[in-house]
Every structure is written in C-alpha cells, then in structure tokens.
Amino acid sequence: MQNSPEYIHIPQLLSEIYRKESRFVFATLIRLLGDFDLAEDATHDAFKAALEQWGTKGIPANPRAWLVSTGRFKAIDSMRRQSKFDPLQLQQIRQLEAETPDPSGQVDKEIEDDVLRLIFTCCHPALSLEAQTAMTLREVCELTTEEISRAFLLTPSTLAQRIVRAKTKIRQAKIPFEVPAEQELPDRLEAILQIIYLLFNEGYYASSGESLTRVNLSSEAIRLGRLLHNLLPDPQVTGLLALMLLQESRRPARTSSTGDVILLEDQDRSLWDHGMIEEGLLLVEHAFASKRLSPYTLQAGIAALHAQAKNPDGTDWAQITRLYSLLLRINPSPVIELNRAVAIAMHKGPEAGLQQINAILERGKLNDYHLAHAARAELYRKIGYTNQARASWERALALAQQDPERRFIERKLKELGA
C-alpha cells in the first residue's frame, strides 16, 4: 500500500494541511487538555499518526476533526503510560476523559473559535504586555522564536525564557481558556490589537526570507480581525480591520512574476483587489465617524487615500502628510516620523524630505533600519547626489534580511553605476 499513488501524495497533502490547520488543532487541544506543552506534543503525535495511517486507511472526511480527536487520544494514552503507579495522576486522567468527550463530532466553527479563546488566554492581564505578545505570536501564529526575537530586538534565548515563564504563569494561575465577559473586553483589547497588527505586518512585509510576503500570516490576521470585529465592533477594531484590508488589497501588484519588488508608484492598480478596497473604505468611514481616532484608524485613513488615487499623480500627499503629523502626535515613533518624511518629500520635494530623514538618522534613530537608508538613498538620487545615494544604498543592503529587497537594492546600485 505504501507505494500506491494515494500513499505517495500523503506527505504533500499533510504538509498543506499542517500549514492551514495546525493552529486550529493546537488551540482546540489546549482547550481539551488544559496544558500548552501537552497540546503541542499531542498535535505533533496526531500529524505523525496521520502520516502512518492515511495512506492505508484512507483520508478522513474531516481531517481537522480527525487530528483533534487523534491528538486527544494520544495525549491521554501518553499520560496513562507515565502515570501507572500514581493514583492522583490516574484520577486526573479519568477526570480528563470524563470532561473532554471525543471532539470528532464538533463542528468546525467551534474549533475555529478556539483560536480566539487561545488569544484571549495568552493576552490575560496577569501576564506582562511583552509576554502576552510573544506568547501569542509563538503559540497562535506559529512565528519562530527567531522571527519574534527580531521584532522585539531580543536574543532568541531571552525570548524563549519569556515564553516559558508565561506558560508557567498560565498554568499556575489557572488562567481560563475562554473569551472574557463583554464588560472585560475593552481592558484586554490593546494587547490583542497589537498582536493582530504585528501578525499582519509580518505577513504583509516579511522580516526575512525568500518572499516579500507571507500570505498565510496576513490572511490569518484578517480572519482574526473579522472575528474580533464581530465580537467587539470597537472603533479601534474597525480601524485595524480597515487598515489590513486596504493594505492587503495591493498584494497582487506588489511583486513581479519572479517575486521581485514593485514599488507603489509603479504598481498596476488594475490588479488591486477592489472588493477589499470597497469594504475597507466603508470601515474607514465608520471608524472616522466615531470621532475616536486610534493609530490604526489614522493609518487606515492614509491607506484609503492611496486606494482612492487612480494613479500616482492623483495621490493626495498633502492630506497624507497631515494624517502622519496627527499620527505622530498620538503615537510617537521614529518609523512613523520616517513615513511622514517620505510623504513630505512627495508633497514638497525631495530636499524637504531628505532634511527630515537626515535629522532622524543624526539623532541615532533608525540607524539599523534598512528602509530609512533606502529612503534617503532614493531622495539623494532624485537630487543628483550619486555618491551619497550609493553609500546609503550600500548601507541598506548590508541591513536588509529579505531576498527580494536585497535584489531590489542591488538593481538600484547597478543603475547608479550605469
């Protein structure tokens, strides 16, 4: 049977199912088993069992439910083997069996909601904000420790210790695996929005690797944003969902057929997803109507102005600059300051923008941020300062972690040489 055509494609099929379903399986097993580490082992055991059995017994009608059910049984069997002579643990196992019926009959909707429950568990106020974010990005979104540590400017070992401590806190404090009551939701919102935002950013603009984007991450962020918006239609949630939809609408035009970067001004706007744009613009309108302007809503407003421009020359850079100025007041950040400088360059000319970027870098801000040096290089090029442009592009190349960006910068350097 192992040489049959069905068996041959099982590893490829399972790889695809793992990519799409593993976080759902893992989240549900946490609810059923009540332990992160036990659920993680059970998830791996379930996929291993699928690799061994599906080739001979056939692919189940509902692979997700099969994996959850198999993972639960594997976990209980493992606990029995380790607890043969411990009456207290045997009692715990019997209680676990009684309280967690076979989940194979559960509907997919209930399993999907387990991801939202998991986010709220990881974002419990008993944990620090840093631990909440790191824990959720690792356990819910499956970012690697290295990817998260880069986002936090920490060593991987420090971040790993932070995650271990957070798991221990959840277990010792018996933090419930549930969506909190409605009156508790606003107090839990900040961390969850930050996590969804970071997840989307990693999907929309990958921090490293062979691809500019990671569509599974941005799609998951939008899905979680919709879930949260249905649960709590707060203006901040509305603004974040609008921002993600408007940004994601440009995905088809952001890279060439070979995966190379295409800048916004050079994109074929007919490729943009106009359904996403329409939905995003409506959400922006609702978010601004609330008069509670969060950083997400202001960023969504900027994305809306780009989406409404039929061509690069039609972009309202004056209004974009004003929105960035307002955003900078309520959420000071050197990256926002950089984006505002680029908007100023588009509105008032490269010299004006270059003056702003040089001031940011002279203060020591963003010296290790490749996009700051790339922006400066392009403005130097526009005013004819070739040597300064080359030096800035070389600095950007030394800092860039992503293959498409590196190819883009290398092309820019070749163009300067030509």
Is the pLDDT confidence value at 414 over 50?
A: yes
Number of domains into which the chain is organized = 2
pLDDT, average across residues 369-376: 96
Helices 185-204 and 108-122: angle between axes, nearest 10 degrees: 100
Domain with 398, as residue range(s), is 316-418
* DSSP notation for 70-120: HHHHHHHHHHHHHTTT-HHHHHHHHHHHHHS--GGGS-HHHHHHHHHHHHH
List, in sequence order, every residue forming a beta bridge with 402; answer none if it has no partner: 209
Interatomic CA distance for residues 225 and 219, integer angstroms: 10
pLDDT, average across residues 272-291: 96
The pLDDT score that the predictor gives to residue 42 is 93
The pLDDT score that the predictor gives to residue 396 is 95
Which pTM does this prediction carry?
A: 0.74
Does residue 266 or residue 107 have the better pLDDT? Answer: 266
Query: Can you say how many angstroms the Cα of residue 38 is from the centroid of all Cα atoms in its chain?
Result: 25
Is the pLDDT confidence value at 411 over 90?
A: yes
Q: What is the CATH number of the domain that holds 364?
A: 1.25.40.10
Domain end call among 52, 75, 106 = 106
Q: What residues contact 29, with CB distance under 8 A and at least 6 apart? A: 38, 39, 42, 43, 68, 71, 72, 75
**30-39, 145-154, 394-403: range with highest mean pLDDT:** 394-403
Does 280 reside within a domain?
no
- The mean of the pLDDT values for the chain is 87
Interatomic CA distance for residues 279 and 281, integer angstroms: 6
List, in sequence order, every residue forming a beta bridge with 255; answer none if it has no partner: 261
- Name the 3-class secondary structure at 86: coil
Domain end call among 43, 71, 106 = 106
Q: Which of 239-243, 271-275, 363-367, 395-399 has the lowest mean pLDDT?
A: 363-367
Does 41 reside within a domain?
yes
105: confidence class by pLDDT, cuts 50, 70, 90: low
Does 220 reside within a domain?
no
The pLDDT score that the predictor gives to residue 228 is 86
Nearest CA to 250 out of 265, 219, 272 is that of 272
Does 214 reside within a domain?
no
Query: Can you say how many angstroms the Cα of residue 227 is from the centroid of all Cα atoms in its chain?
Result: 15
Does residue 103 or residue 152 have the better pLDDT? Answer: 152
Does 198 reside within a domain?
no
Does 334 reside within a domain?
yes
Domain end call among 106, 129, 151 = 106
Does 364 reside within a domain?
yes
Does 326 reside within a domain?
yes
List, in sequence order, every residue forming a beta bridge with 209; answer none if it has no partner: 402
